[in-house]
Structure 1
Amino acid sequence: MTASLAFLASPRPEAKAAKSRLENLYGHAPIEEADVIVALGGDGLMLDALHMSIRTGARVYGMNFGSVGFLMNEFREDGLPQRIAEAERARIHPLRAFGEDIHCKPFEALAINEVSLLRETRQTAKIKITIDGKSRMSELQADGILVATPAGSTAYNLSAHGPILPLTSTVLALTPISAFRPRRWRGALLPRNVRVGFEIVEPSLRPVSAVADNQEFREVARVDVVEAHDVTLTMLFDPGRDLAERILVEQFEN
């Protein structure tokens, strides 16, 4: 039985035009009813599609119309149902971030790539770090810090000089962003089942935002991050170009 497809396009005119042609070729199901969401864009659109799939359980197959497209397959119009049927599956768990701001207002969000804490002003952020409730760093002075999944390790984490993690690894990357003190600290690799806690030192004087993929929460006081084992997302990749292979290739490219 052929999977029902929903097409999602970035704002680029060429992506919108391709969406129209593909819908004429293969039909178009509502996203809420589709077996597969076909994302036409870059990695940002792939993240949007994956967040949509949290609600529906759909698999996500991306085709590149963006500038990077690390998570995307090559764009081709022909044979799409067969490509999807033969695609290799990568199953991932997002991160769950929860905490409260300086006004005691709680927040919670899921992040597929990373959870980042970022200074809001010119002043350096000061952040206490705990792992499973035990203090591991009493005060990090930096522009910020992030926790990245293996799937997200080649995104912001890599730009911040964090490690690339194979998709099958059982660790998360804890990576500082422009650390001032301790100056030589480069972060840590953490088991995926830990609870990472961040407490903002002087949160009113040195405000910090928490960002879970594309959701931002301002003036946070504390943030906890855990892997959401209860949520499983499925990405589809053409044979020989799955995410594990892409992560391996990335480590040998300039």
Structure 2
Amino acid sequence: MAAQEGRTVAVVRHPDRDQAAALEGDIRRWLEDHGHHATAPLEAADLVVSIGGDGTMLRAVDQASRQGTPVLGINVGQLGYLAEVDPSDWEAALERWHRGEARVVERMALAVRVERHGSAPAPPDDAPEPLPDGSYLALNEVVVEKTPTGRMVRLGVVLDGEDFNTYAADGMIVATPTGSTAYALSARGPIVDPEHRAIVLTPVAPHMLFDRALVLTPGTEVRLEIRGDRPATVALDGRSIGELEVGDALIATAAARPARLLTFGGHTFHSILKAKFGLEDR
């Protein structure tokens, strides 16, 4: 394969980890020494390098997916599911990318929009940035759940325009296969290989007999309506976008453009599962 030449690379790092800050300096120098241009995270780039854990990776993917830019994750911290390159291997990974040997895998993302009956409150300071049409992207999941000081909420689930059920629960998770090992896993949702395309709907602590997760086709439109008399909160990939009032709704569908992750065939999904859960051959 032909070597990469004169590429623009955005570097994103965890803001509070000294190791991430040191790696950022080393990576920027390496890129400049190899004829590439290291740039700020929000500028147009040919590659985004994320230095941190899965949270840092999710933020990098949120920005990179808007231009279809692939993301290389360097894991600083505990073993995660997204950032696959160990800190000691970053130079070898970039050398392989420089030589054109990296592979890009595509992961399904969610497109999420909110319908409000009243005016929208000001979003939290750390809220993700919406797309120009007002929708949001999520690689892992969107979560609608009770407010921090509230009791359970009533959530109406409408699938492809057909009323399915009203759940009395602590919340509802709409996840991608990539997100099946995030919050949905702790709510006893299924583990789905991240290279599949599907929408996983998992109730959180439902107060009802039907408490099973649903694995839906990727073309399904999932609408969650706030029913009853209590508001709910909404978070995308762990970042709050505020509250929904009774009568408001959230709509989630498969995003038109997938997230693109750089991989070198290192940590496989199965090997990460084994390590995370301490699984051993008998």
For Structure 1 versus Structure 2, the TM-score category normalised by the shorter chain is: 0.7 to 0.9
Structure 2 runs not aligned, ≥5 long: 33-37, 122-133
- Structure ranking higher in strand proportion: 1
Quote the Cα distance in structure 2 between the aligned partners of 1:250 and 1:147. 26
Structure 2 SS opposite 1:176: strand
Q: Does 1:200 align with 2:213?
A: no
Superposed CA RMSD in Å reads 2.3
Quote the Cα distance in structure 2 between the aligned partners of 1:200 and 1:133. 16
Quote the Cα distance in structure 2 between the aligned partners of 1:51 and 1:181. 35
Structure 1 runs not aligned, ≥5 long: none
Quote the Cα distance in structure 1 between the aligned partners of 2:114 and 2:90. 44
| Counterpart selection for 2:173 from 146, 164, 182 | 146
Which deviations, in whole Å up to 9, do the C-alpha atoms of 1:147-200 show, x marking residues without a partner? 110111111111211111112323211101111123x51221111101011111
2:8 corresponds in structure 1 to 4
Quote the Cα distance in structure 2 between the aligned partners of 1:61 and 1:143. 35
Amino acid at match of 2:244: E
Change beyond 3 A, Cα 1:241–1:87 = farther
Q: Does 1:81 align with 2:90?
A: no
Q: May I ask how many residue pairs the two structures share in their alignment?
A: 248
More displaced 10-residue stretch of structure 1: 102-111 or 17-26: 102-111
Structure 1 SS opposite 2:179: coil
Q: Does 1:134 align with 2:138?
A: no
- Give the deviation of 1:89 after TM superposition: 1.9
- Give the deviation of 1:225 after TM superposition: 0.9
Which deviations, in whole Å up to 9, do the C-alpha atoms of 1:188-241 show, x marking residues without a partner? 111110101111112xx3111122222423124111111112x12210122243
- Normalised to the residue count of structure 2, the TM-score between the two structures is 0.80
Amino acid at match of 2:12: L
Amino acid at match of 1:62: G
2:255 corresponds in structure 1 to 228
Structure 2 SS opposite 1:21: helix
Quote the Cα distance in structure 2 between the aligned partners of 1:216 and 1:186. 27
How do residues 38-187 of structure 1 correspond to structure 2 at under 5 angstroms?
38-72=49-83, 73-75=85-87, 76-84=89-97, 85-103=100-118, 105=120, 108-120=135-147, 121-137=149-165, 139-182=166-209, 184-187=210-213
Which deviations, in whole Å up to 9, do the C-alpha atoms of 1:46-105 show, x marking residues without a partner? 011111112333210001113342211212243343333323321023111112235254
Structure 1 SS opposite 2:178: coil
- Normalised to the residue count of structure 1, the TM-score between the two structures is 0.88
Quote the Cα distance in structure 2 between the aligned partners of 1:246 and 1:102. 46
